[in-house]
Amino acid sequence: MKKIVFLTGAGMSVESGFKTFRGNDGLWENYPVEQVASHEGWEANPTLVNNFYNNLRKKLYAAEPNEGHRLIKDLEKDYDVSVITQNVDNLHEKAGSSKVIHLHGELTKVCSSNAPYDSRYIRELPPEACEVDPGARAGDGSLLRPFIVFFGEAVPMIEPAAGIAAQADFFVIIGTSLNVYPAAGLVQYTRPDIPVYLIDPDDVPSGSLQRVTHIRKGASEGMKDLVKILRTDGRP
């Protein structure tokens, strides 16, 4: 089976009701990004940060994957599909995608603030109990924090993601401005001869994307086009 690797960003979830990061005056869901998505912001006011993600988590549990997420999942019938996402939502999983790597964490989960990657303290919050109480503690006694990779922190999942990108027969980028590294550099791990597609209604300025076919549409419409292209150019 040929391997398709998707790299998705905030634009993937726009049609499911979520906002992108850039193009909103530096605000993300009405908050300054530095306040709610940086290590300094967390240190300065963990209660505000926890409340922000509590609200976003509630919104996520009420949201549904869109046609774009579903079309990616459907490709599993004919291809070996991997999704590498910068999004913290679980909409790819909810659509049924079986191989999803989250580069920037997962909103459904909480962890220890001392050792965020210690699996003993990572918990998934179910929809009926999806809010972290102010001051709640992880199993190691540290403050419970959202399982989110904040700006200024390492991105440990980049290594497995780069390994997967290197195996791709097709690489498809959807809804990311490619502003944030190391995610934006993943395309450089792909073999130089494979086709690369970009689905985004806007320009994505990047010097490293010369061999890209730009499908200038939103995620759902763009995925419909991609499925047609694969039918002719990319026999499984």
Q: Provide, rounded to whole angstroms, the least separation between the CB of residue 125 and ligand APR.
A: 20
11 part of the interface to ligand APR, by CB under 6 A? yes
Helix (H/G/I), strand (E/B), else coil: 116:
coil
CB 230 within 8 A of CB 81: no
Sites for ligand APR among residues 143-182 (CB under 6 A): 174-177, 179-180
CA atoms within 13 Å, Cβ hemisphere of 58: 8
CB 14 within 8 A of CB 218: yes
Q: Whose Cβ is closer to ligand APR: residue 2's or residue 70's?
A: 70
Using the contact rule CB under 6 A, the part of the chain among 12-20, 56-64, 138-146, 165-173 near ligand APR is 12-20
Beta-bridge mates of residue 80: 3
Catalytic residue chosen out of the listed positions 39, 92, 104, 214: 104
Helix (H/G/I), strand (E/B), else coil: 163:
helix
Using the contact rule CB under 6 A, the part of the chain among 19-27, 118-126, 157-165, 224-232 near ligand APR is 19-27
Sites for ligand APR among residues 208-227 (CB under 6 A): 218-219
Whether 102 sits among the annotated catalytic residues: the reply is no
Q: Provide, rounded to whole angstroms, the least separation between the CB of residue 235 and ligand APR.
A: 26
Per the document, the length of the chain is 236
- Other beta carbons within 10 angstroms of residue 25's beta carbon come to 6
CA distance 110 to 140: 13
Q: Whose Cβ is closer to ligand APR: residue 115's or residue 155's?
A: 155
CA distance 157 to 84: 9
Binding footprint of ligand APR on the chain (CB under 6 A): 9-11, 14-15, 20-22, 33, 37, 86, 104, 174-177, 179-180, 200-202, 204, 218-219
